[in-house]
Structure 1
Amino acid sequence: MAGSSFRFARYGYSALFDPSDIVSANVEVYGQTRRTRLYEALRLVTFYLFNLFLYAVPITYAGFGATGEVGAPPAVVESVAVSVGTDPVSGWQFLLALVQNCTFLFAASALTFLTFHVAVWLTRNSSGVLQSIHTVVYSTGIYLAAIFSVTWYLSTSPAISVADDWLIWVQAEFIYAVIDATGTNLELPSGRPEPVDLTEITRSGVVALTGLFVAALYYFYSLYLGARHNHHSSRSASLLAVGFVVASPILFVLGSIAIALFLDGAIVAHTTPILL
């Protein structure tokens, strides 16, 4: 028990004061036998899923990601809930919210891995896929999860509503900047938001936004360290890898625009003969 507590404390210390100790630890095993690499790949996946579970369960229990009316739960969920003495509807709602919270982080992790590994591959610095998986598993499992947690907190706490409104405005402005650059006339469901006056922001809001900014810096720095230590990239190549990850939200918005335009065109193509 004492050994586990010490390792956990060391893990937390390294996450704050020595990210390279976490992101670049034990990568030498990925150059050994196929059996060893397979074992390490399974270990990484297990570690990632465990961290995903540790991240998602507490914030789901706190109400993040909870939906409104979810309908009647499936028979399997209802029977399990009854057997453990819980309300089937509440259990079904919790399960859906848990899946939603896990999905957001998993999708972001997958996009991070794709852009990061493509960057190190294009710069001819790739030491292998497992090195990239190792980097992304630890960087997203710690720092990206922290970003998501602070964002969820901003979206649900009434005490920092001004900070949340400002963050939503920044995200909407970013999306509209990409939309305007493509020359399309798409609109967000909420429309183009007005600038937010920060004169009413509370101290809690400032602290939350600062925490979000610091977590983002840690996240990008851990990816930089991963490229430097795990792929032995130069400083410029490592910065390029981080740049690819930073640009990934642009790719996400562009993909969303393409899907929206495709669906809109498909609807028009399907309904035009009927209208004629």
Structure 2
Amino acid sequence: MSSIFITGATSGFGAATARRFAKDGWSIVITGRREDRLHALAEELSGQAKVLPLVLDVQDRAAVEAAVAGLPEEFNQLRALVNNAGLALGNTPAQSCDLDDWDTMVDTNIKGMLYCTRLLLPRLIAHGAGAGIVNLGSVAGDYPYPGSHVYGATKAFLKQFSLSLRSDLLGTGVRVTNIEPGLSESEFSVVRFGGDKAKADAVYAGTEPLTPDDIAESIHWALNQPKHVNINRIQLMATCQAFSNFNIHRNS
């Protein structure tokens, strides 16, 4: 039975992805920091698939090592890894941002992804043809906007790392895809604005953004292509969103 390992599964894209693969009967490892949500999702999906909830902070290398080493046999035949855990914090200009926010974004979006990838790669390579890694990037990795600084830079790293990983994995049969969503409504903005839901809601006011289910379908599609097909990148945006015009500062 195919097994999938999903980080950041307690909400948003991660939870939607778990639900989508449960419909197909995959064995699913769901990870996240919020134990109550993790076990609630596991209970929800238990009638459709085998589910292993792991309380895990991907920033903690030792914890990731222990989690991977302790995977039960029934979840050990890994076919897919979805590196979804990630976040944006704040949107103030770089010159006035909180350095702790920068540390957290780098530790989660980059280092956490690297830990999970490196430690699970041997299992994916052992599976061979048809196995795959999906990294959750962002259009912010291509198109900067005010306040995106480190968040956008972490997603640009993710894009380049995904392409480089493809080179290293040539001949193993393991595929790598970078999914790059644009405007998407989940808990992303609530986290970004420190729990200020009114401020987060204002981001989506008057729009029809992408949903977690939209992203989960893209992940499902990429991982279920024929074994000889690798989807390098999927960049998707809400129809109501387009690329920003260049900003120009003019002297008064």
TM-score, normalising length from structure 2? 0.29
Q: Would you tell me which structure has more strand in proportion to its own residues?
A: 2
| Structure ranking higher in helix proportion | 1
Query: Which has more radius of gyration?
Result: 1
Q: Could you state the TM-score of these two structures normalised by the residue count of structure 1?
A: 0.27
